[in-house]
Amino acid sequence: MPRYSITTFGCQMNVHDSERMHDVLRCAGYTEAGSADEADVLVLNTCSVREKAEQKLRSEVGRLARWKRERADRVLVVAGCVAQQEGERLLKQMRAIDVVVGPDNIPELPGLLGDLAIGGLPIARTVFDLDAPRFLVASPPSSSPRAAPTAFVTVMKGCDERCSFCIVPHTRGPERYRPSDEIVAEIAALVAAGTREVTLLGQTVNSYRDPLGALPRAPGASADDPDESEFAALLRRVAADVPGLARLRYTSPHPRHLTPSLVLAHAELAVLPRHVHMPVQSGSDRVLRRMIRRYTRAEYVARTRALVEAVPGLTLSTDIIVGFPGETEDDFAATLSLVREVGFKGLFGFKYSRRPHTPALKLPDDVPEGVKGVRLARLFEESEALLAAHLSALVGTTQEVLVEGRDKERGHGGAGGALWSGRTGRHEIAHIDGAGELDLLGEVVDVSITRANKHSLQAELTEAARAAARPRQRGLEARPGRRSLPVVAAEGG
C-alpha cells in the first residue's frame, strides 16, 4: 500500500482541509507514513495569506527536490492556497512538483495520483466548485472508540469582502454556504461519537445564511440591516438540536456581522463560550478605510462592547496588521490605544506584506521594514502585558476546562506523570498537574488555577473533579488529534 504524509501550513481551514485529505487518501487505500522519509506521496498544504508563508513553501520544495531524487516513484503534491493562486505556474517554476490541487478539488486527489501512477504528466487542478459547492465531511472514526474531543465543521467557504490587503477572495473564491440541515447532522454525528466541542469554520463565518432558506429569523435580527446574516439563527439551531454539545466556537468572524442578533445569541446560549476572536486589523479610521474594512473604530468598539456587556467576563482576541501602506506614527498610536481600550486577551500581529491580486498593490509599500518590526514588537509588548495581567488575575480561581489531550509541553511540572491540557471556556490554555492516573480526555472538569505562565495557566483538579474522574484504562485511548494546541502569539519580526 502506498504511504503518504501531509505537512500543513496556515489557518484552521487548512488544518481542516488536511484532515479531509487524510480521509480521502485513506479511503483510496493509502496509509499514513511514520515520517516524510518513509512516504511515497508527500502533500504540502500551503498558505499564501502573507509573503512569509508563501516563502516557506518555496524553501520546502527546494529541500524536497532531494527527497524526490532518492526514488523515481515519489510524488510531491502542493495543495491549499498557493496551489490555488499559482496553479500550472507552480509546475513550470518548480520541477519537483507533480500535482497541484486546489482546496475545492481535494476529492479528486486520488484520481490525479492514479493518473500519474500510470504514466500521466504532472497536473494542476484548481477549479472552484461554484455551481455545486462541496463541503467535506469528516469520515467517522472507524478503528477508535472515541472521536477527538474537538472538531471543525465548515459552514461556509470563500469570501465576498474586498479587504484591500487580502488574497483570500482570490484563493478561496466567492462565498458559498452549506445547508443548516447538513451542518446540524454533521455536528450531531460528531457528538454521538464523543466530540465535545465544535468550531464552526468559514472565512467570514458570521456572514452565514442558509442556501435553502431553512432557518427562522433569529430574535433581534433586523430585516433592513445590511450587515444582518443568519449566523445567530444557525447558532440557535445547533444549540437546540444538539443538546449534548458542550462548547460551540466559531472562527473567523467579520466585525460587520457582529449584529444585535448575534450579541443576543451570546447572551442566551450557554453553549457559546465566553471568548470571541474578532479581527480588527487597525485602530485608525484612515487605515481601516484604506483597508476597505467597512467599519470604523467607533463601530468596532461599540459592537464588541455590546457583546461584553451582554456576556460579562467575555474576552476578545484579534488580528492586527502593522505597516499597512501610508500608516503613520499617529495611525499606529491609534492601534495601540485601541488594543488598550478593548483590552484584547490575545493578539496575532503581522507585518503588512504585498500579496498578488490584492487591491492594495496599487498603494506603495512605504513603511520601511525596520519600522514595521519596531511597531510589531511594540504591539506584542502591549498585548503580552494585557495577557499577563489577565492570566495572573485568574490564579486562585476555579475554571471549567475541556481536556483536549496529553500535554505536548512537558516540563511545566506534571508530578503525576502524564500531564493533561485543555482550554477554559474563555480559551485560555490550561495544563493540569498531577492527574496522570486519571482518564480526562474529552471531559469538562473543574480545576483551580495554581500559576500563570506566559501564555497559559497551570492548574490542579478540584477535589470534587478528582473524585468524579475515571481512572485511566489501557487500550481505551482516543484517536490522537492531529492538531496540537495552537500557541497564542504569532509571527515575530
Distance CA(409)–CA(400), nearest Å, equals 21
**Quick check: 380 binds ligand 5AD (CB under 6 A)?**
no
**Quick check: 353 binds ligand 5AD (CB under 6 A)?**
yes
Residue indicated by cell numbers 462565498: 175
**Nearest-approach distance from CB 402 to ligand 5AD, in angstroms:** 25
- In this structure, are residues 134 and 110 in contact, taking their beta carbons and an 8 Å threshold? no
Q: Which residues contact 86 (CB under 8 A, 6 or more apart)?
A: 93, 100
**Nearest-approach distance from CB 279 to ligand 5AD, in angstroms:** 4
Pull the grid cell for residue 84.
Answer: 490555488
Omega of the bond leading into 252 within 30 degrees of 0 (cis)? yes
Stretch that binds ligand 5AD, among 65-73, 237-245, 305-313, 347-355 (CB under 6 A): 347-355
Number of residues that bind ligand 5AD (CB under 6 A): 12
272 or 360, CB closer to ligand 5AD?
360
One-character DSSP codes across 101-169: E-GGGGGGHHHHHHHHHTTPPPEEE-----SS-----PPPPSSSSS--SEEEEE-EES-----TT--HH
**Quick check: 50 binds ligand 5AD (CB under 6 A)?**
yes
Per-residue contact track with ligand 5AD, 131 to 170, x per CB under 6 A?
A: ----------------------------------xx----
138 or 276, CB closer to ligand 5AD?
276
**Quick check: 284 binds ligand 5AD (CB under 6 A)?**
no
Distance CA(12)–CA(485), nearest Å, equals 12
Decide: residue 448, CB within 10 A, 0-12 exposed, 13-18 middle, 19+ buried.
Answer: middle
Stretch that binds ligand 5AD, among 119-127, 178-186, 351-359, 456-464 (CB under 6 A): 351-359
49 or 248, CB closer to ligand 5AD?
49
**Nearest-approach distance from CB 292 to ligand 5AD, in angstroms:** 12
Phi then psi dihedrals of residue 308, to 5 deg: -70, -35
Which of 84, 195, 251, 281 is the binder for ligand 5AD (CB under 6 A)?
Answer: 281
**Residue 162: CB atoms within 10 Å:** 13
Which of 80, 122, 279, 425 is the binder for ligand 5AD (CB under 6 A)?
Answer: 279
- In this structure, are residues 166 and 355 in contact, taking their beta carbons and an 8 Å threshold? yes
**Nearest-approach distance from CB 342 to ligand 5AD, in angstroms:** 15
Which of 152, 208, 352, 380 is the binder for ligand 5AD (CB under 6 A)?
Answer: 352
Which of 21, 42, 49, 278 is the binder for ligand 5AD (CB under 6 A)?
Answer: 49
Stretch that binds ligand 5AD, among 130-138, 349-357, 394-402, 441-449 (CB under 6 A): 349-357
Which of 4, 250, 295, 350 is the binder for ligand 5AD (CB under 6 A)?
Answer: 350
111 or 492, CB closer to ligand 5AD?
492
Decide: residue 428, CB within 10 A, 0-12 exposed, 13-18 middle, 19+ buried.
Answer: buried
Q: Is the dihedral of CA 222, 223, 228, 231 positive or negative?
A: positive
Specify the 3-state DSSP secondary structure of 278. coil
> What's the angle, vertex CA 388, arms to CA 383 and CA 393, rounded to 5?
130
**Quick check: 18 binds ligand 5AD (CB under 6 A)?**
no
Residue numbers at the binding site for ligand 5AD (CB under 6 A):
49-50, 165-166, 279, 281, 319, 321, 350, 352-353, 355
